[in-house]
Amino acid sequence: MKKVLHTLIFTFLLSVLFTGVALAQSNTPPTDDEVNAVAHKLYCPVCESTPLDVCPTDACKDWRELIRTMLADGKTEAQILQHFQEQYGARVLAEPPKEGFYWLIYLLPPAIILVGAFFLFRSLKEWTKPKAAASVLGGAGSESSPEKDSYLARFEEELKKQK
């Protein structure tokens, strides 16, 4: 009997302790800075191209308060962003989510740039190929050695300085 009583009291005290801790957590409301940090990653769902942390409208104030409430409930930033996306659509995020079709925005530019770089280097290779055939035909392409070129360069430099 005594053992049961002790267990009950112990359990009761423990739950009081945990409740106290839980209450303590929700007693300090999230700061404006914390709200802004999350709002900065969102755009106002109704205004044109306005980030949520700077949007001045009443609606935006409500959304920021929603963020504050969700932070107070212990939600993480990722969860809050997910919630906003589900409620208002992907356009509310500051950049497209990394899923499905939207991968295209992240992958296409590097692909195009690599293609461009490939073309550039291929052209450079072609342009710097020693044109032995051309000199045989007596073409315009001159085949000069590095020393000749640097001499030419210096000579031109001197010429310019004389002006």
Site residues, another protein (CB under 8 A) = 31-33, 36, 41, 43, 45-46, 48-51, 54, 56-59, 61-66, 69, 85-96, 101-102, 104-106, 108-109, 112-113, 116-117, 120, 124, 127-129, 131, 137, 140-141, 144, 146, 149-150, 152-153, 158, 160-161, 163
Among 87, 92, 70, smallest CA distance to 79 is for 70
Nearer to another protein, 1 or 159 (CB): 159
Please tell me the distance from the alpha carbon of residue 58 to that of residue 62, in angstroms, as a whole number.
6
Quickly count helices (H) and strands (E) in the chain: 7, 0
Which one, 20 or 141, has the nearer CB to another protein?
Answer: 141
10 or 86: whose CB is closer to another protein? 86
Shortest distance, CB of residue 78 to another protein, whole angstroms? 15
| Nearest residue to 74 (alpha-carbon basis) of 30, 108, 41 | 30
For the record, the structure tokens of 21 come out as 């801790």
